[in-house]
A and B are shown apart, each in its own frame.
Chain A
Amino acid sequence: MIKAKPKPIGEIINDIKGFEKVLIAGCNGCVTVCEAGGVKEVEILAAALRMYFTKEGMRKEIDETSLTRQCDKEYLQELQDRMDGYDAVVSLACGVGVQFLAEMYTAKPVFPGVDTCFMGVTEEQGHWTERCQGCGQCILSTTGGICPIARCAKRMLNGPCGGSENGKCEISILVGRDVPCGWHLIFERLKTLGQLDRFRYPSDDKDWTLSRDGGPREIIKEDSRQ
């Protein structure tokens, strides 16, 4: 799922300080799972904003809502009747939801309430890590089910590099936490699977046109459109 983290409240205050009636719109999808933009986070943010603006003596009307998803039109349309009543919206959905909301309500300023980070997993409550970069051409069948594009800091196809130490990526020392070396993980997994031979042959170049380098992407499934 998509993982995000709440924006610093100062950024949000700065965005909305010129508006009187503001809607905080959460999303019950991915950002709820990573505790960044669901019903609970909407409530916490709204309360904090009300407290701040009251203390500052600024009149604000801050309402709360949360949609099933913000990446589908049918749910965004639920706001149609209410939207005229607001001067601005803070969306706590991922960047996708923020944009789709803004596309539907073109005359309304829409601000992001979270920083969208990556596609990842829940390691344990409160801890999420990256797994996929959506490169458009999955190579997991050749790498023991561990993605070098997402999990090697140099997205190498012929790793590990010379900076791998005790299973950790060379950037660990710089980022102040242990970043697992993706290629060390691949090595261990292929060893378990008895497939170490895959280390013998150089890979082909990756076709990045299917990734973001090829420009904005789309998927069309004809039989679903009819």
Chain B
Amino acid sequence: MNTTTPSKLEKILAAGHYAVTSECGPPRDGRSNIVEHKAGMIKDHVDAINVTDNQTAVVRQCSLAACIKLRLLGLEPVLQMVTRDRNRIALQSDLLGATSFGIHNVLCLTGDHQRFGDHPSSANVFDMDSTRLIQTVKLMRDDGMLLSGFEMKEGRPEMFIGAAENPFADPFEIRVFRLAKKVAAGAQFIQTQCIYNMAKFKLWMQGVCDMGLHEQVAVLAGLTPMKNVGMAKYMKNRVPGIDVPDEIIKRLAGVPKEKQAEEGIQICLEQIEELKQVQGVRGFHIMAIEWEEKVPEIVERAGLFPRPSVN
């Protein structure tokens, strides 16, 4: 079992287990107990906890602060970083700060455009994109260098490098190539956009395996259980890059409102079972949006509990 970092997530994957990750969205205020509370609900059922970075460009507590909090509680955070709001100076600075607190997982993202969020008139940065951020972390970790060429004698980041990929965005033909590019840049794990169109995901995964990428990167299948049919319709019509087939909407609409949440969980569980059969799927990233309390139930009912322990 070869690992490159002290990351628990990396160790679990290297040991051949399915990895299970989930995420916590920090609050839109400065309360100190929210992330802690959310993480507390899921900590025994997941291997690592992503902390989102001002997702959908809405101002929230910073991902780094929340990750530090989780780390101090002895948990395993995945630091999400978008390149929308910080230039290469700030990104590297935050990576060093995270390193100083023993944060060993990073998810490199470009980020939703700021026009989606609560400050649409703000400037954006985009000094680099997600692919370059992956390369930057790798450079800092493996070569002990900053982008400036400055050499770190000590205190290099020791981070398991992650990225996202959306098999459902267009043009579809480029999506496997794009993953290949991120892998070439240094991505070691991938958390996908949430999957609803299983046929399309399998087609993408086939392409991933045909190129041998599944042997170079651990693909964690992204899942977001639907709370109700309204959410499904919103995701289909209002969230770019999310592909919700009509069958999902019909299925949720076909049960009484009070049973739609359970139906959503059931769909998610069926997806996990199906995904276990797909070559190259190495784990699951469960994004239960403002529904973290359901994660333990999903993990248990999916037969993914207890979580393995690694040293």
Interface residues of A (CB under 8 A from B): 153-167, 170-171, 173-175, 181, 184, 187-188, 196, 199-203, 205-206, 208
Contact = CB atoms under 8 A, between A and B. Distances in A.
14 contacts: A158-B129, A158-B131, A158-B132, A158-B178, A161-B110, A162-B166, A165-B170, A170-B113, A170-B241, A174-B115, A187-B173, A187-B174, A196-B177, A205-B128
B73 interface: no
B124 interface: yes
Contact of B129 (A156, A167, A171, A184): A156
Given A158-B130, A170-B116, 19 more contacts: A154-B84, A154-B110, A154-B113, A157-B131, A158-B129, A162-B164, A163-B112, A163-B113, A163-B166, A164-B241, A166-B170, A170-B113, A181-B170, A184-B170, A196-B174, A196-B177, A202-B135, A202-B184, A202-B185
A205 B89 CA distance: 13
B305 interface: no
Which 10 pairs from chain A and chain B are nearest by CB? A162-B166, A158-B131, A170-B240, A163-B240, A156-B129, A199-B177, A162-B241, A162-B169, A202-B185, A174-B115
Contact of B181 (A155, A162, A175, A200): A200
Contacts of A196: 174, 177
Contacts of B128: 157, 205-206
A157 B132 contact: yes
Interface string B100-129: 000000000011110110001000101111
Contact of B193 (A162, A170, A171, A205): A162
Interface of B: 84, 88, 110-113, 115-116, 120, 124, 126-132, 135, 147, 164-166, 169-171, 173-174, 177-178, 180-181, 184-185, 193, 238, 240-241
Given A165-B169, A202-B135, A156 B110 contact: yes
Contacts of B130: 158, 161
B131 A171 contact: no
B238 A173 contact: yes
A199 B174 contact: yes
Contacts, number: 106
Contacts of A170: 112-113, 116, 240-241
A200 B184 contact: yes
A206 B115 CA distance: 24
B113 A153 contact: yes
Contact of B126 (A156, A163, A164, A199): A156
A188 B172 CA distance: 12
Given A161-B110, A165-B241, A175-B115, A202 B131 contact: yes
B289 to A, nearest CB: 17
Contacts of A202: 131-132, 135, 181, 184-185
Given A163-B113, A205-B88, A155 B126 contact: yes
A164 B171 contact: yes
A114 B175 CA distance: 42
A105 to B, nearest CB: 33
A161 to B, nearest CB: 5
A87 B127 CA distance: 45
A200 B180 contact: yes
A208 B173 CA distance: 31
Contacts of A200: 177, 180-181, 184
Nearest to A191: B173
Contacts of B115: 153, 171, 174-175
B116 A161 contact: no
Query: Which residue among B135, B171, B238 has the maximum number of chain A CB atoms within 10 Å of its CB?
Result: B171
Nearest to B193: A162
Contacts of B113: 153-154, 163, 170-171, 174
B110 A187 contact: no
Contacts of B178: 158, 160, 199
Contacts of B116: 170-171, 174
Contacts of B135: 202
Nearest to B88: A205
Contacts of B164: 162
B52 to A, nearest CB: 15
